[in-house]
Structure 1
């Protein structure tokens, strides 16, 4: 564990970017070899839009990263936050508790709030307009949503009192997890079900991308599946019944146009 802490305490931006690119590449290759659905689409055009939006997420996080650093350093130096108030424990348990709580606030909670608060839903909607869910969809976020998610992550760091190495570890695991659970891959059903008791599996998350309620408002988790099960937002749906997209924006051509996607939060919205 000490080696992990040492690595993530000093991890460079280039290493973090390499992890992101490697994840997309690996899952891209796997989903090409073992696809769950055979999409009739221009894969590179689709990927280009999603990778552009991934790039805007990277830029937002790069320019705001100092906030996370200052927040994490302040919590440690002032003995503030849940982790600082817990009794002494093994470093492995300390890391697990921290990651679970960061996942709760930085992934599950912000995702839930984005679905329930109309002004935030306008930004998150771009993610749901994708009608061809694959690993590139993972970071298909409007720049405005990237700021929203960053805000919740920073709030999580403050409340939990996480050291910066744990924040970097969480962000790395979060990137890999979202690339995995969005990937258009076909896992053996028993394996997917088994994984879903611990982490968010591909089949579990794809239910969230079904185009109608109540499925759209379910399975909010990113790394750990415990929060959906604990808070009653876990749902199942057979893969063959899943239709990707969002029923309020059914025009696939219109909503796979980058210029339109960037304008969606500021357009008049149909009733969800």
Structure 2
């Protein structure tokens, strides 16, 4: 574990970039071998707006990285935060607890709030309006949402008290799980189910992308499924019944255009009646 911490304390930017790009490439090809749905789409054309938003997310995170670094430096210098106030524990437990709690604040809580606050939900709709969810969908976030998610991560670092090594480890795991859970892959049902008892599995997250309530408002987790189970937001739906998209923006063509997606949070929409199928 010491070696892991040492590595992530100074992980080169090239390695982090390789993880992002390599993950997309890996799951891109895996989708061809083990597809969940056989989409009739031009994969590169579909991927372009999603990769554009991936790029904007990277730019925003890099631009604001100094805030994250300053926060980790402060909590470390002042021995501040939940994991630093607890009795001394083995390093592996310290790291696991840090990642687990960052997953709550940076992913679960941020995601939950985005669904419950109307103004934030309109921003988050850009992610949900993809009609062909695949690994490129994972980082399809409006730039405003990228800032919001970054803010929640900084909040998590401050409250939890995580040093930079744990933050970089968490972010690396988050990238991998985001690509995995959005990937258009079909794991054996038993494997996916067993995985979902601890981690967010592909089938579990796909339920969240079903186009109508109450499934859209469920399964908010990113790495660990524990938070959805604790807070009662875990739901199941047979993967064959899942229909992607969101009912307030049903135009698949418009939802694949960058200009439209950038304006989407500011466009009024008519709430349809809640559905349960």
SS in 1 for 2:198: coil
SS in 1 for 2:98: helix
Q: Which residue of 1 aligns with 2:275?
A: none
Alpha-carbon RMSD across the aligned residues, in angstroms, is 0.7
Secondary structure in 1 aligned to 2:216?
Answer: helix
Aligned runs of 1:32-51 on 2, under 5 Å? Answer: 32-51=32-51
SS of equivalent residue, structure 1 residue 216 = coil
Matches within 5 A, 1:200-219: 200-219=200-219
Give me the whole-angstrom Cα distance separating, in 1, the residues matched to 2:11 and 2:51: 23
* 1-structure distance, mates of 2:14, 2:122: 32
Partner of 2:268: 268
In the TM superposition, residue 48 of structure 1 has moved relative to its aligned partner by: 1.1
Aligned to 2:153: 153
Pairwise mapping of residues 151-190 of structure 1 onto structure 2 (< 5 A)?
151-190=151-190
CA distance in 1 between partners of 2:126 and 2:118 (Å): 13
Structure 1: tracts of 5 or more residues without a match: none
Distance 1:203 1:79 in 2: 39
Q: Distance in 1 between matches of 2:104 and 2:17?
A: 24
TM-score (norm 1): 0.99
- How many angstroms does 1:230 deviate by? 0.6
Give the equivalent residue in structure 2 for 1:59: 59
Match of 1:26 in 2: 26
Matches within 5 A, 1:245-256: 245-256=245-256
Structure 2 counterpart SS, 1:217: coil
Displacement after TM superposition at 1:269 (Å): 2.7
The TM-score normalised by the length of structure 2 is 0.97
Q: Deviations over 1:57-76 (max 9, x none)?
A: 00000000010100011001
Looking at structure 2, the residues matched to 236 and 181 of structure 1 have their Cα atoms a distance apart, in angstroms, of 15
Structure 1 residues 94-134: Cα deviation after superposition (integer angstroms, max 9, x where no partner): 01110110000000000000000011111100000000000
User: Following the alignment from structure 1 to structure 2, what is the Cα–Cα distance between the partners of residues 270 and 69?
Assistant: 42
Give, in whole Å, the separation in 2 of the partners of 1:250 and 1:269.
Answer: 11
Shift of 1:42: 1.3
Matching residue of 1:87:
87
* Structure 2 unaligned residues grouped into runs of 5+: 273-277
